Amino acid sequence: MPEELRSSEIIRRLSVAYPNARIALKYSNPLELLVAVILSAQCTDQVVNRITAPLFKKYTSVEDYASVEVAEFETDIKSAGFYRNKAKNIIATANLIKEKFGGKVPSTMAELITLPGVARKTANIVLYNAYGITDGIAVDTHVARLSQRLGLSANKDPVKIEKDLMQIIPQKIWGSFSYLLIEHGRAVCIARKPKCKICTLNDICPSAP
């Protein structure tokens, strides 16, 4: 099967299997989304949602995050893992948003990646889910693993994987494509022992036995 047709078939089958694929993080505005995504680094979405439920009641504005003492904020997010670095980045990001962006979370890739703790993955998630902008493809651990297993990319670096995917995935679904791979990565194509026998892609996957 030609690569272009194979990638289209992957998208079609995953869309059927996971019609409700979407972001699992809970948020109500761009700032909450940005904070949640920073917290989600090397941490499950379920844990992040447990942390942010009380966090978003305590901190409701950029000013709240910008003015909190680091030690207090570390305590608030301690169960997220790597909480010291995340606390430092979130507070610094809030200050930069307040001082440079008029208190509003930026809506461009170039601006977002200037924020502490924000690289392309986080920026892509915020742009797509908060502003409906598809500037790239968010590559997390699931997307990276499945891209390699499905033969969509031979690279291991997330930025290079993203570039490979952007060449073969239609731009109109860049934002949603990540969530199709994430859902499949959680349900079937798991890290240690993929369930190839029940996989809807097993006949077009180069990694299938």
Chunked into runs of 10 residues, the chain (209 residues) has average pLDDT values of: 87 98 98 98 95 98 98 97 97 98 98 97 98 97 97 96 96 97 97 96 95
- pLDDT at site 19: 97
pLDDT given for residue 3 in this prediction = 79
Active-site option among 121, 156, 172, 197: 121
pTM: 0.94
- Quick one: pLDDT at residue 1? 72
The yes-or-no answer on residue 121 being catalytic is yes
pLDDT at residue 100 in the model:
97
CA–CA–CA angle 141, 23, 60 (5° rounding)? 110
pLDDT of residue 48: 98
Could you tell me the sign of the dihedral formed by the alpha carbons of 196, 201, 207, 209, in that order?
A: positive
Cα–Cα distance, 110 to 120 (Å, whole number): 9
What's the burial of 163, exposed, middle or buried (CB within 10 Å: 0-12/13-18/19+)?
Answer: middle
Angle at 18 between CA 136 and CA 13, to 5 degrees: 85
Measured distance CA(3)–CA(10) in Å, rounded: 10
156 catalytic per annotation: no
Instruction: With CA atoms as reference, report the closest residue to 114 among 191, 15, 184, 34.
Output: 34
Question: How do residues 4-62 score in pLDDT, each as one tens digit?
Answer: 789 999 999 999 999 999 999 999 999 999 999 999 999 999 999 999 999 999 999 99
Catalytic one of 76, 86, 135, 140: 140
